[in-house]
Amino acid sequence: MRYHLRKVTGHHLFLPLVCLVAVLLANLVATPDFFTVSLNNGVLYGYIIDVVNRASELVILAIGMTLVTAASGGQDISVGAVMAVSGAIICQVLSGGEVSTSAYAHPLVLALLAAFAVSALCGAFNGVLVAKLNIQPMVATLILFTAGRGIAQLVTNGQITYVRVDAFKEFGNFIPGCPVPTSLFFAIGATAVMSLILRKTALGMFIESVGVNSHAARLVGLNSARIKIIAYVICGLLAGLAGFVAASRIYSADANNIGLYMEMDAILAVALGGNILSGGRFSLLGSVVGAFTIQALTTTLYAMNISSDQLPVYKAVVVVVIVVLQSPVFRAAIGRLGRARVSRGSAGKGVAA
């Protein structure tokens, strides 16, 4: 029995899931109707549906952030800005290249290809700075973090570009006849595709190897720089996909607000998922659970009438507690405490005998 319990508690997803369940159960007291789901006009509504819906973009970002963290031992803080660039390009192409409310003059496929190409280029730019020039990831990605929204403003001529096309709105909201948010399918698809690629190819093993010891990886024949660049390109592509979903949700390109501060939530999702921020082994599912935990916490605080100005303070306190609970030092301390109790129990039985 003790062996099975230790096996369960030692699983890499145990603590992330415990944290998610704890945040959800806290709502039974704070917000009794948090789990209430209603069906209106063929669409599901409720706090829990809002968590699933809003977390979709964060899940997509967290997957890319996980690969970058594992490969380079650093984080990409430009993903929010890349989301804004992607959304700006998509809406600008769909509006016929003009800031207007007219129907789009180009197919959606062309808009997506353009946005993904630019997003991949942004990822490659970050990857080259990190892998080829050996610049610290936080410093290298700070360039696009600062300039990305300016680029999006240039694309949209400094205005909010609206696309009033029902087909475009459906990708970030609901498809007629389907009560589940469409964004959830993008999150599931991104997770499934990346999991399949990492399982069926050697990319996952290569990323872990480079993250654990880049020098040793080079000695065994791996091109560490290329693998890091690939990780950043994938992260850029996923940020572009998240930008598409975000723009579709509001059917417009708002360069100042799309993806704002989401890079920080993505990093937190990776950390809450039990991943090591210094690189090496990683868990995509852990990051997905972490993303839902962050969004559940955000939705919970809004449901408790916490203002947006005060939200970061409460979120920071809860996140600190969760991170401490998942830290190796805390786990080791709990393990020592458990072994000490077992030793005292065994000693007591010996004396009694």
d(CA 106, CA 217): 45
Other CB atoms within a 10 A radius of the CB of residue 273 amount to: 28
| Residue 301 within a domain | yes
Positions of the chain with pLDDT lower than 70, given as ranges: 1-11, 97-106, 326, 338, 341-353
Other CB atoms within a 10 A radius of the CB of residue 249 amount to: 21
Q: Of 59, 32, 60, which is closest to residue 46 (Cα–Cα)? A: 32
- What Å distances lie between residue 243 and 52, 85, 191, 237, 301, CA to CA? 17, 8, 16, 10, 25
**Is 45 in contact with 38 (CB distance < 8 Å)?**
yes
**Is 233 in contact with 127 (CB distance < 8 Å)?**
yes
3-state secondary structure of 252: strand
Give me the pLDDT at residue 101, please.
41
- What Å distances lie between residue 151 and 85, 107, 139, 255, CA to CA? 7, 23, 19, 9
Provide the strand spans (E) within 141-255: 161-162, 252-253
3-state secondary structure of 64: helix
| Residue 101 within a domain | yes
Q: Is 336 exposed, middle or buried (0-12, 13-18, 19+ CB in 10 A)?
A: exposed
How many contiguous H segments (helices) and E segments (strands) does the chain have? 16, 4
| Residue 5 within a domain | no
Give me the pLDDT at residue 258, please.
93
pTM of the full structure: 0.88
Give me the pLDDT at residue 348, please.
59
Q: What's the token pair of residue 250? A: 């509001």
Range of the domain at 150: 14-336
Q: What's the token pair of residue 30? A: 């704070």
3-state secondary structure of 180: coil
> Long-range contacts of range 2-5, CB-CB < 8 Å, 24 or more positions apart?
none
| Residue 349 within a domain | no
3-state secondary structure of 43: strand
| Residue 2 within a domain | no
d(CA 235, CA 63): 8
Give me the pLDDT at residue 100, please.
41
| Residue 25 within a domain | yes
Cα-based angle 298, 172, 178 (whole degrees, multiple of 5): 105
Q: What's the token pair of residue 333? A: 């301390």
Q: Of 234, 252, 232, which is closest to residue 243 (Cα–Cα)? A: 252
| Residue 295 within a domain | yes
3-state secondary structure of 176: coil
d(CA 17, CA 259): 26
d(CA 224, CA 215): 8
Overall number of domains in the chain: 1
| Residue 133 within a domain | yes
Q: For residue 275, what is the domain's CATH number?
A: 1.10.3470
* Contacts of 1 by beta carbon, 8 Å cutoff, 6+ apart: none
